[in-house]
């Protein structure tokens, strides 16, 4: 066992390591208990939950694109009460740290979800999905409007003492301003990025490849943009950041940490290699040893940008 | 518990311009596999497609002592990954996650088992045929394709005492027309009291027709659906198919990687099922 300190703090929430399963890419967590020891993950952000059950979109729901994929699942889900009754007990048994990703169509729904989950044993934090590109109502409409983002975060803040982590969309001009709005509204941390709104067409049939027409782009294709956005947010806010977008290897984990993320989330990589988790942790530990660091937090935000702050904005 | 095996390609038997059978060294998958289960396959090379693709386990490969050593996949070249499977030479590798999914039920005598395959839908029936033979369950393979060049391994099934009924749309082998033709006639001839399970895998239209024929004559079916899949483990919710728990209940979209790929035919809401891409 190495003596490296892998723990990270996300406000009130301490994680044993910075590796978190990204929402929607790991089911409700229990699906993966056969292939991963769930207690070894920093945390699991479970699939997005509404108050009610949702059927989701008609298939096809995914399509592969160069170095990535589009998805339009449409937040199919069992609703918060069934999650608490049917999934949370098993997650607790596996000693998983559970971050519940919540989604509403109104500010009140987010607050109601927060209240319900505050009373459920075994919830470590709330991730506010204000960034799903795949549903018409709610979600991203809050994430693309500074006022809306502020209102949702402060309403949830008032409704719960759990850590509140809004998840930001990259489908805005200036993601850092949303991180700032979240911080001002009392968020404990922010996570970013959700998927990029995208479209793919079958040129033979000239039809969209997804039934929903649009889908969210994830995977390695988005990584450089996500890294840039994490870096920008790091310059803009003091609260911790969970960075994600296209992480496949330990090197990618380090890239996000160095850009300014305190922890990272891993989504699409689970589909490619469900056994990726110990590889990421070993690789991260190896990197820290190789560079003589005793703790993960030693490398957070350490990217050396010549003449930082005066970035060229041509 | 599924394993991820960086499997050595043992053989590549190209059956035609489109079809091949790839043999893979994967003892752990072979030992655990049940009829109708699948693996998620990808090439581990830079530039290869990111997501794995599902393939039915075709044969269980065994050594001289009968110990499971690997699996084979029946492949039809249609896209990038199937193209790579077609091209891959022995000595190369393919990453194989499995075995996954709910298997076929294996009937026991006096029940009979009829397997209905369309084209590459033959894939899950080799393992089922072997399991049925072990139970001494009388089995028939109904196997249809567009023409004779779409039909393979017929003698493989015959050697295992499976009765084989063939049909091709162009009449170049077996009966001319769809495989549901002889199936329907044979169903009409079977005494009502004779127990039977029908298993089907192939184009959606064929499986739907089989399920409806069977239901009309009061017979149970199992169909193996092949929707687009992202992960094979229940993580992504992309492989959902509409099923009903009762004839009057509304359909629900369930993950075919976990609750399938094998479903009771009467539970599938065929009207809502998008054709496989
Ligand atoms: C199939 C799929 C489903 C997703 N579902 C959700 C969701 O329910 N809630 C959410 O906040 N993000 C969801 N996401 C976004 C991911 O959590 C993540 O932000 C994004 O995929 C980028 O990370 P990655 O490139 O590592 O996948 C989903 C992504 C995918 C691919």
Query: Does residue B11 fall inside a structural domain?
Result: yes
pLDDT at A142: 82
CA atoms within 13 A on the CB side of A62: 26
CATH code at position B27: 2.40.30.10
pLDDT at A239: 98
Residues B96 and B166 in one domain: no
Same domain, B131 and B210: yes
Pocket flag, ligand 1, residue A73 (CB < 6 Å)? yes
State whether B45 and B137 are in the same domain.
Answer: no
Q: Which atom of ligand 1 is nearest to the CA of A268?
A: 27
As for the ipTM of the complex, it is 0.94
Of ligand 1's listed atoms, the one at least distance from the Cα of B236 is 1
Residues B91 and B146 reside in one and the same domain:
no
For residue B76, is it within any domain?
yes
| Residue B125: inside a domain | yes
pLDDT reported for residue B246: 86
Report the nearest-CA residue for atom 4 of ligand 1.
A24
Q: Identify the H or E element spanning B154.
A: helix B154-159
Question: How far is the CA of B185 from the CAs of A46, B180, B188, in angstroms?
Answer: 51, 9, 5
Question: Is the domain of B140 the same as that of B206?
Answer: yes
Residue among A109, A51, A99, A97 at smallest CA distance from A78 = A51
- Phi, then psi, of B188 in degrees rounded to 5: -65, -30
- Same-domain check for residues B178 and B156: yes
Locate A3 and state its tokens: 């003596």
B251 part of a folded domain: no
Going by pLDDT thresholds of 50, 70 and 90, the confidence category of residue B75 is very high
- Which residues on B lie below 8 Å from A275 (Cβ)? 4
Distance from CA of A191 to the nearest CA of B (A): 20
> Which CATH superfamily is A8-299 part of?
Aldolase class I (3.20.20.70)
Domain annotation covers residue B126:
yes
Name the maximum alpha-carbon separation found in chain B.
Answer: 58
Tell me the β-bridge partners of A164: A126
Tokens of B165: 């009924």
| DSSP string of A151-206, one letter each residue | HHHHHHHHH-SS-EEEE--S-SS-HHHHHHHHHHTT-S-EEE--PEEEE-EETTTT
State in Å: Cα B200 to ligand 1 middle: 35
Whether residues B130 and B75 share a domain: the answer is: no
Contact between A157 and A93 (Cβ < 8 Å)? no
HEC string of A25-79 equals CCCCCHHHCCCCCHHHCCEEEEEEECCCCECCCCCCCEEEECCEEEECCCCCECH
**What distance in Å separates the CA atoms of residue B62 and residue B71, rounded to the nearest whole number?**
9
Q: What is the CATH number of the domain that holds B208?
A: 3.40.50.80
Of residues A85 and A143, more confidently modeled: A85
Does any ligand 1 atom lie closer than 6 A to the CB of residue A170? no
> B88 and B124 share a domain?
no
- From A95's Cα to the closest Cα of chain B, the distance in A is 19
Domain boundary among B48, B68, B100: B100
Other Cβ atoms within 10 Å of B157 Cβ, number: 21
Q: According to the model, what pLDDT value does residue B100 have?
A: 98
**Tally of structural domains, chain B:** 2
Tell me which residue of B212, B232, B196 sits closest to B95, measured CA to CA.
B232
Final residue of a structural domain among B72, B100, B128:
B100
Backbone Cα Rg of chain B: 18
At residue B235 the predicted structure's pLDDT band, cuts being 50, 70 and 90, is: very high
- Asked if B228's CB is within 8 angstroms of A35's CB, the reply is no
Q: Tell me the pLDDT tens digit for each residue of A116-159.
A: 999 999 999 999 999 766 666 666 678 889 999 999 999 999 99
The rounded Å distance from CA B27 to ligand 1 centre is 34
Q: Round to whole Å and give the CA distance between B16 and A314.
A: 57
| Interval A175-186 mean pLDDT | 97
| pLDDT tens, residue by residue, B42-55 | 998 888 999 999 99
Q: Which percentage of chain A shows pLDDT scores above 90?
A: 89
pTM recorded for the entire structure: 0.95
- Which pLDDT band, with edges at 50, 70 and 90, does A313 fall under? very low
| Of the partner residues B42, B237, B252, the one whose CB lies closest to the CB of residue A73 | B237
Domain boundaries, chain A: 8-299
Which of B2, B50, B51 comes nearest A35 by C-beta? B2
Span A183-239, pLDDT tens digits: 999 999 999 999 999 999 999 999 999 999 999 999 999 999 999 999 999 999 999
Measured between alpha carbons, how far is A155 from A114 in angstroms, rounded to an integer?
9
Q: Alpha-carbon distance A171 to A173, whole Å?
A: 7
Whether A132 is catalytic? yes
In this structure, are B37 and B138 located in the same domain? Answer: no
> B276 pLDDT exceeds 50?
no
Query: Pick from A59, A53, A50, A55: which is nearest to A212 by CA?
Result: A59
Under the banding of pLDDT at 50, 70 and 90, the label for residue B277 is: very low
Residue of A nearest to B96 (CA): A273
Average pLDDT estimate for A239-244: 98
B37 & B75 share domain? yes
Please check whether residues B24 and B51 belong to one and the same domain: yes
Q: In the predicted model, is pLDDT for residue B111 greater than 90? A: yes
Mean pLDDT for chain B?
95
Write out the residue range of the structural domain in which residue B214 sits.
112-227
Contact criterion met (CB below 8 Å) for B70 and B27: yes
Q: Looking at residues A268-286, what average pLDDT do you find? A: 98
């Amino acid at each position: 066992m190495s003596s490296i300190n892998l723990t990270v703090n996300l406000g009130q929430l301490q994680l044993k390591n910075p590796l978190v399963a990204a929402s929607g890419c790991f089911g409700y967590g229990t699906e993966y208990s056969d292939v991963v020891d769930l207690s070894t993950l920093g945390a699991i952000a479970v699939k997005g939950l509404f108050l009610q059950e949702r059927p989701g979109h008609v298939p096809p729901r995914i399509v592969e694109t160069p170095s990535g994929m589009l998805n339009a699942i449409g937040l199919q889900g069992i609703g918060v009460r069934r999650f608490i009754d049917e999934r949370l007990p098993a997650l607790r048994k596996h000693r998983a740290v559970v971050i519940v990703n919540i989604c509403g169509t109104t500010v009140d729904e987010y607050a109601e979800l927060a209240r319900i989950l505050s009373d459920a044993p075994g919830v470590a934090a709330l991730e506010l999905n204000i960034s799903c590109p795949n549903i018409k109502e709610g979600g991203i409409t809050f994430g693309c409007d500074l006022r809306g983002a502020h209102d949702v975060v402060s309403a949830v803040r008032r409704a719960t003492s759990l850590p509140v982590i809004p998840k930001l969309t990259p489908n805005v001009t200036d993601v850092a301003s949303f991180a700032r709005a979240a911080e001002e509204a009392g968020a404990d941390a922010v996570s970013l990025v959700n998927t990029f709104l995208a479209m793919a067409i079958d040129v033979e049939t000239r039809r969209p490849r997804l039934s929903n027409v649009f889908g969210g782009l994830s995977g390695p294709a988005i990584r450089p943009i996500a890294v840039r956005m994490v870096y920008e947010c790091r310059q803009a806010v003091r609260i911790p950041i969970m960075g994600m977008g296209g992480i496949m290897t330990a090197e990618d984990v380090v890239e996000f940490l160095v850009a300014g993320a305190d922890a990272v989330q891993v989504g699409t990589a689970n589909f490619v290699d469900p056994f990726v988790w110990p590889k990421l942790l070993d690789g991260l530990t190896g990197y820290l040893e190789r560079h003589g660091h005793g703790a993960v937090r030693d490398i957070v935000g350490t990217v050396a940008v010549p003449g930082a702050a005066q970035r060229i904005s041509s | 518990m599924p394993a991820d095996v960086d499997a050595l390609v043992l053989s590549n038997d190209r059956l035609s311009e489109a079809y091949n059978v790839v043999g893979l060294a994967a003892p752990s998958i072979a030992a655990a596999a049940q009829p109708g289960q699948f693996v998620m396959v990808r090439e581990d090379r830079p530039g290869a497609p990111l997501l794995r693709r599902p393939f039915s386990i075709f044969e269980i490969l065994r050594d001289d002592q009968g110990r499971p050593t690997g699996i084979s996949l029946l492949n039809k070249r249609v896209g990038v990954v199937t193209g790579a499977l077609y091209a891959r030479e022995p000595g190369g590798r393919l990453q194989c996650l499995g075995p996954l999914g709910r298997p076929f039920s294996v009937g026991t005598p006096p029940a009979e088992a009829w397997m209905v395959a369309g084209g590459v839908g033959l894939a899950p029936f080799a393992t089922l045929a072997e399991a049925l033979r072990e139970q001494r369950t009388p089995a028939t393979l109904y196997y249809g394709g567009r023409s004779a060049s779409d039909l393979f391994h017929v003698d493989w099934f015959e050697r295992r005492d499976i009765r084989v009924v063939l049909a091709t749309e162009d009449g170049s082998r077996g009966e001319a027309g769809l495989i549901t033709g002889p199936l329907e006639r044979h169903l009409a001839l079977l005494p009502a009291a004779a127990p039977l399970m029908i298993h089907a895998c192939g184009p959606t239209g064929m499986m739907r027709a089989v399920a409806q024929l069977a239901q009309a004559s009061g017979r149970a079916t199992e169909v193996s659906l092949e929707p687009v899949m992202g992960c094979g483990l229940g993580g992504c919710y992309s492989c959902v198919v509409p099923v009903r728990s009762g004839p009057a209940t509304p359909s629900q979209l369930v993950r075919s990687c976990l609750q399938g790929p094998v479903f009771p035919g009467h539970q599938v809401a065929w009207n809502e099922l998008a054709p496989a891409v």
